[in-house]
């Protein structure tokens, strides 16, 4: 239960403190420790604290791949990874009516230019899993018959040249956390005569960008299309960079009115639809990365939420 501080969408107290509820009904999730969210110390100092074992910080959430890679050898703390329900994907800029990216064949050609495993290894130190579309293999709604789009530079070159993109510099807007990924995409493009330019995402998009990289996560109980796919392609999507897609909206409506025991097949249909139409640049599912003190047994969540009921102090 919350005993000090608040965390709102637009503000946080310096400290937020939660203490165990002594009467909680579920012994498996009954916390044994007080949790203090330190909202002052900052991420860099928090990571250093975990590595040094100075006792100020036990867990730091949401490390970037570069921060995880740079974590020093330490007998006081370590990097913990979680194959969470996440995606890193590129949203094509289809805002202008004459955008080449409105053509599924051009979007597919761009996808074929990318060696996803190379991008993951080179751009994110391997912290992730290449996935076919938006759902990880083995998860609810993943289609066992789907594979990631192939890396086919010659087909990519032909398709992009046909669209008038030969030799073009592709402008990619992304968080600084994903600059390495953009650079790795640029290396893939250089093999077919194109290049990539990284533009740091500061909230105001430049008018003429080609792609925007978006990280996103699924917190739902087996309902990924509402949380993730809809957010990119739906009528009320906040991440869509182009016109509405009535075919997607019809699939979503179909899902909403399908009895629960048959929804998984519709989720697979959505996955096939977005891959067939190359609705995005499909990349990979990033691991969530944590710096964790050795004195703590930390249980991360696939939802990316910092739920801490099971987190314990060792011994």
Q: Contacts with another protein in 89-128 (CB under 8 A)?
A: none
Question: How far is it, in rounded angstroms, from Cα 116 to Cα 2?
Answer: 43
| Residue 283 host element (H or E) | strand 281-286
Of residues 92, 100, 260, 272, which one binds another protein by CB under 8 A? 260
Residues 173-232 that bind another protein (CB under 8 A): 218-223, 226-227, 230-231
> How does strand 211-217 pair with strand 169-174?
parallel
Minimum Å distance from CB 204 to another protein? 17
Of 205 and 296, the one with the shorter C-beta distance to another protein is: 296
Would you say how long the chain is, in residues? 315
Q: Map tokens 């990033």 to a residue.
A: 286
Of 56 and 168, the one with the shorter C-beta distance to another protein is: 56
Q: How is residue 287 annotated by DSSP? A: P
Question: How far is it, in rounded angstroms, from Cα 53 to Cα 258?
Answer: 52
135 sits near another protein (criterion: CB under 8 A)? no
Q: Map tokens 């179909």 to a residue.
A: 254
Question: How many of the other CB atoms lie within 10 Å of CB of 62?
Answer: 13
Of residues 200, 256, 265, 276, which one binds another protein by CB under 8 A? 256
Range 223-243 burial, b when 16+ CB lie within 10 A, else e: bbbeebbbbbbbeebebbbbe
Q: Which stretch binds another protein (CB under 8 A): 41-49, 117-125, 127-135, 196-204?
A: 41-49
- Strand, coil or helix: 111: helix
Of residues 55, 150, 166, 243, which one binds another protein by CB under 8 A? 55
Q: Which stretch binds another protein (CB under 8 A): 3-11, 120-128, 159-167, 189-197?
A: 3-11
71 sits near another protein (criterion: CB under 8 A)? no
Q: Are 32 and 276 in contact (CB under 8 A)?
A: no
79 sits near another protein (criterion: CB under 8 A)? no
Q: How many residues bind another protein (CB under 8 A)?
A: 76
Of 139 and 168, the one with the shorter C-beta distance to another protein is: 139
> How does strand 169-174 pair with strand 195-200?
parallel
Residues 221-240 that bind another protein (CB under 8 A): 221-223, 226-227, 230-231, 234, 236, 238
Q: Which stretch binds another protein (CB under 8 A): 124-132, 153-161, 196-204, 251-259?
A: 251-259
């Amino acid at each position: 239960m919350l005993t000090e501080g608040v965390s709102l969408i637009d503000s946080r107290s310096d400290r937020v403190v939660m203490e165990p509820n002594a009467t909680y009904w579920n012994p498996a999730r009954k916390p044994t420790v007080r949790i203090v969210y330190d909202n002052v110390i900052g991420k860099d100092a928090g990571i250093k604290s975990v590595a040094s074992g100075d006792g100020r910080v036990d867990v730091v959430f949401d490390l970037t791949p570069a921060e995880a890679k740079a974590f020093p050898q330490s007998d006081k703390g370590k990097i913990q990874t979680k194959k969470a329900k996440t995606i890193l994907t590129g949203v094509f800029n289809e805002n202008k009516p004459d955008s080449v990216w409105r053509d599924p064949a051009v979007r597919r050609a761009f996808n074929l230019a990318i060696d996803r495993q190379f991008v993951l290894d080179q751009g994110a130190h391997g912290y992730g899993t290449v996935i076919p579309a938006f759902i990880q293999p083995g998860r609810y709604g993943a289609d066992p018959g789907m594979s990631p789009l192939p890396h086919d530079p010659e087909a990519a070159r032909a398709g992009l040249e046909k669209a008038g993109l030969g030799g073009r510099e592709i402008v990619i807007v992304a968080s600084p956390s994903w600059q390495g990924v953009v650079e790795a995409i640029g290396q893939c493009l250089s093999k077919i005569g194109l290049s990539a330019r990284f533009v740091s995402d500061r909230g105001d998009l430049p008018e003429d960008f080609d792609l925007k990289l978006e990280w996103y996560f699924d917190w739902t109980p087996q309902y990924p299309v509402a949380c993730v796919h809809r957010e990119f392609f739906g009528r009320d999507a906040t991440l869509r960079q182009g016109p509405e897609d009535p075919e997607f909206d019809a699939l979503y409506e179909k899902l909403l009115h399908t009895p629960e025991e048959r929804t998984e097949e519709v989720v697979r249909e959505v996955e096939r639809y977005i891959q067939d139409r190359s609705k995005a640049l499909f990349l990979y599912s990033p691991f969530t990365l944590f710096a964790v003190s050795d004195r703590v047994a930390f249980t991360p969540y696939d939802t990316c939420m910092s739920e801490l009921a099971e987190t314990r102090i060792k011994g």
